[in-house]
A and B are shown apart, each in its own frame.
Chain A
Amino acid sequence: MRLIDLLRTGSFRLALLFLALFGIASMVLFGFLYLQTHEFVIANIDAWLGREAPKPFRSSVAEIERSFAAHAANNQGMEHVFVLYGPDGQILAGNPLPMPTDIATFDRPFNFQTQAEERRMRHRGIAHRMEGGDIVLIAQDMYETREFDEAFISTMLWGGALTVGLGLLGATLVGAGTARRLDDVALAIQRIVSGDLSRRLPSRGTAGDLDRLAHVVNGMLDDIERLMHEVKGVADGIAHDLRTPLTRILAGLERAQRRAASPEAYAAAIDDAIFEIRGVLKTFSALLRIAELEDGARRMGFSAVDLRQVARDVIEFYEPVAEEKEILLQLSCTDSGPIMLNGDASLLFDAMANLIDNAIKFTPARGRVTVELDHAAEGIVIGIKDTGHGIAAPEREAVLRRFYRSEQSRHTPGNGLGLALVSAIARLHDLTLAIEDASPGCCITLRQTRPALPSMI
């Protein structure tokens, strides 16, 4: 991972921003503390000066000389300084501190620096000019404040360095972690784009933001993979379903070219070709119908439809077919009133007809096919039940796919689109198609998934 990548990661930048904000806040806090403490120290000195100063200032020069000399004899250090200067700045009595060169104000505390024996000293003191021109100076060394300042600044520098160091380290770690995860995700996406559809985005199993995103994207990828397989299935189905009749057409036409001697033979070959092509077109029309139904545009032509009437009509339509196989085809209904559904009567007829057609096809002679209508509180249920060999559980989802032909149905006429069409019609009407075991046989139900919309009429 390059540095530039790290610098570009959002979490690294965010960490830096927080570091800067924390730094500014610390500086403000430190400054405030410094000012407060400094003021406190100065106030302490000023209080001491206020206590010590008034007495000598009011005394005579002689008294001052005596008391200062006594103090100086007892205190060699320069911490507390009591000095009496002559008018020319010469030390008359007290601690040996040279007279400050610039006494800004008299009788008020002030800071000053003095140079004595190669040592620079800082004091805060109060000066008073006596009547004779002598100057009395009482001062306290500012050593303490300097010490405090130094300690304070070093603390601040060390603290700052530590904060910046730790902050940068943290930002780098977080940034690098994010960058690595993003690299993993980007790599996974590249693999998917290059065709490995079964690959998924890496997830750490936590509920972090990237994980949540990865979860959603993985769900989407599942869907895409399923759709791609479906498209492939349909494409394979079309290819297979077209190749067989096209091969037959070609063979027939070539045979006519080779052997047909009479106009009648040619006409027969053309008739055969037309018959086959019609079958191919039928497959295409069925596919287009399904696509169109999935579009939902046909909802525009919806009106109130009595399902009971449609069921009766379908049964009446299929009765002769059932009779030929000696299958009992009947309607079973819980109540006798009309069962209204907002929909397209022809499509509903088509769906039921397809299901009944299948049921009759796969039910052995002398079996039974029942159309059940139920207007339950939770919605309308249409069930087509037969006494055939049923659909094996693993196959139940597959039979809804376009062009799927089960082993048993492979040799019966049909294009494998019937149930896909029914499924599309059901979806258009907000019905859910389910394949259930009726033991013996199979029951295909269409269940209303949500309450019927108010009818348009």
Chain B
Amino acid sequence: MARILIIEDDAGTANEIAAALTDHGHEVAAAGTGRDGLLRAATEEFGAVVLDRMLPGGMDGLAVLATLRATGNEVPVLVLSALSAVDERVRGLKAGGDDYLTKPFEFLELTARLDVLLRRRTSPQRETVLRVADLEIDLLTQTVTRAGQSIELLPREYRLLEYLMRHPGQVVTRTMMFEEVWHYRYDEPTNVIDVHVSKLRRKIEIAGAPPLIQTVRGAGYILHAPD
């Protein structure tokens, strides 16, 4: 699907990430130091970069990212950080269109976030109406219709649906939903999200029709038009 550069000093972790991304259909390149990674990111074409925050050799992950941006390179970056190293700079990554993930993480979480980063670049979000199958939401009037029938949603349900509609056909994990819809960072995925999703489902799904929101076991949800 895309070429991904992994900048990670620990060979074991790098191999595991590479294996997970390859299985997910990506092409993978790896660099062991910040300097090496920066050189490759600047000279080659990548869809996204997975960057460890802590790198040996005097150039840490955030320095690599800053240098990359200073040269005008806009490749989306996913920073891997230890929980204790999550500070304002790491949190600020989301505002800049990048993302971060705390170690240890699950690979489903990594691939789901990478997919969002990759898609964000290819599809600029200028639409005013989002549509999946016969479900439609109008971003301007904030109204939802299914097969022409208007559906009443609570504000939070609307934002949850909007987030799912913005990423059709992509796995969104519970932590991603929690971050995007509730704007808190929760490292422990909570099943309270499931209650919200099931409430949403009850409102938008039609009896007899194939479901639009599907559960991905152990990961999260995916919204797509039935085949």
A residues contacting B by CB (< 8 A) are 271, 274-275, 278, 281-282, 285-286, 288-289, 292, 295, 297-298, 300-301, 303, 313, 316-318, 320-321, 324, 345-346, 349-350, 353, 357
A349 to B187 Cα, complex, angstroms: 12
Which B residues touch A282, using CB under 8 A?
188
B156:A274 contact, CB within 8 angstroms:
no
Find the B residue at minimum CB distance from A271: B217
Interface string of B76-120 (1 = CB under 8 A from A): 000000011011100100000000000010100000000000000
If over half of A's interface residues share one DSSP class (helix, strand or loop), that class is named, otherwise mixed; here it is helix
A286 to B188 Cα, complex, angstroms: 8
Is B12 an interface position by the 8 A CB rule?
Answer: no
Is B195 an interface position by the 8 A CB rule?
Answer: yes
**8 tightest A-B contacts by CB?**
A346-B185, A297-B84, A320-B195, A349-B184, A301-B87, A346-B184, A321-B195, A292-B84
A303 to B91 Cα, complex, angstroms: 12
Choice from A289, A318, A345, A353 contacting B187 with Cβ under 8 Å: A289
B residues contacting A by CB (< 8 A) are 83-84, 86-88, 91, 104, 106, 156, 182-188, 190, 192, 195-196, 199, 217-218
A281 to B105 Cα, complex, angstroms: 10
A298 to B190 Cα, complex, angstroms: 21
A7 to B225 Cα, complex, angstroms: 94
Which A residues touch B185, using CB under 8 A?
346
With A301-B91, A320-B195, A320-B196 as contacts: A350 and B104 at CB distance below 8 Å: no
A316 to B156 Cα, complex, angstroms: 9
Find the A residue at minimum CB distance from B157: A320
The smallest beta-carbon distance between B146 and chain A, in angstroms, is 20
B104:A285 contact, CB within 8 angstroms:
yes
A-B contact pairs, 25 of them (CB 8 A): A275-B218, A278-B218, A285-B187, A288-B83, A289-B83, A289-B187, A292-B84, A298-B84, A300-B87, A301-B86, A301-B87, A301-B91, A303-B88, A316-B156, A318-B192, A320-B196, A320-B199, A324-B195, A346-B184, A346-B185, A350-B184, A350-B186, A353-B186, A353-B190, A357-B192
Which B residues touch A353, using CB under 8 A?
186, 190, 192
A285:B188 contact, CB within 8 angstroms:
yes
Find the A residue at minimum CB distance from B195: A320
If over half of B's interface residues share one DSSP class (helix, strand or loop), that class is named, otherwise mixed; here it is loop
B195:A313 contact, CB within 8 angstroms:
no
Count: A-B pairs, CB below 8 Å: 57
With A346-B184, A346-B185 as contacts: A295 and B192 at CB distance below 8 Å: no
Which B residues touch A346, using CB under 8 A?
184-186
Q: Knowing that A289-B187, A289-B188, A317-B182 touch, tell me 8 more A-B residue pairs with CB under 8 angstroms.
A: A271-B217, A275-B218, A285-B188, A295-B84, A301-B88, A303-B88, A324-B195, A346-B186
Find the B residue at minimum CB distance from A286: B188
Find the A residue at minimum CB distance from B88: A301
B187:A321 contact, CB within 8 angstroms:
no
The smallest beta-carbon distance between B126 and chain A, in angstroms, is 30
The smallest beta-carbon distance between B178 and chain A, in angstroms, is 9
A301 to B84 Cα, complex, angstroms: 9
A357 to B106 Cα, complex, angstroms: 25
Which A residues touch B156, using CB under 8 A?
316
Find the A residue at minimum CB distance from B185: A346
A346 to B193 Cα, complex, angstroms: 16
The smallest beta-carbon distance between B59 and chain A, in angstroms, is 21
A349 to B188 Cα, complex, angstroms: 12
A197 to B95 Cα, complex, angstroms: 54
Most chain A C-beta atoms within 10 Å of own C-beta, residue among B185, B188, B199: B188
Find the B residue at minimum CB distance from A300: B87
The smallest beta-carbon distance between A341 and chain B, in angstroms, is 15
Choice from A271, A285, A313, A320 contacting B182 with Cβ under 8 Å: A313
The smallest beta-carbon distance between B154 and chain A, in angstroms, is 9
B218:A274 contact, CB within 8 angstroms:
yes
The smallest beta-carbon distance between A288 and chain B, in angstroms, is 8
A301 to B87 Cα, complex, angstroms: 5
Which B residues touch A275, using CB under 8 A?
217-218
A278 to B109 Cα, complex, angstroms: 13
Find the A residue at minimum CB distance from B87: A301
Which B residues touch A278, using CB under 8 A?
106, 218
Find the B residue at minimum CB distance from A298: B84
A285 to B195 Cα, complex, angstroms: 23
Choice from B83, B91, B192 contacting A317 with Cβ under 8 Å: B192
A345:B184 contact, CB within 8 angstroms:
yes
Most chain A C-beta atoms within 10 Å of own C-beta, residue among B84, B156, B185: B84
A417 to B192 Cα, complex, angstroms: 18
A286 to B84 Cα, complex, angstroms: 14
Find the A residue at minimum CB distance from B190: A353
Most chain A C-beta atoms within 10 Å of own C-beta, residue among B83, B183, B192: B192
Find the A residue at minimum CB distance from B83: A292
The smallest beta-carbon distance between A215 and chain B, in angstroms, is 37
Which A residues touch B217, using CB under 8 A?
271, 275
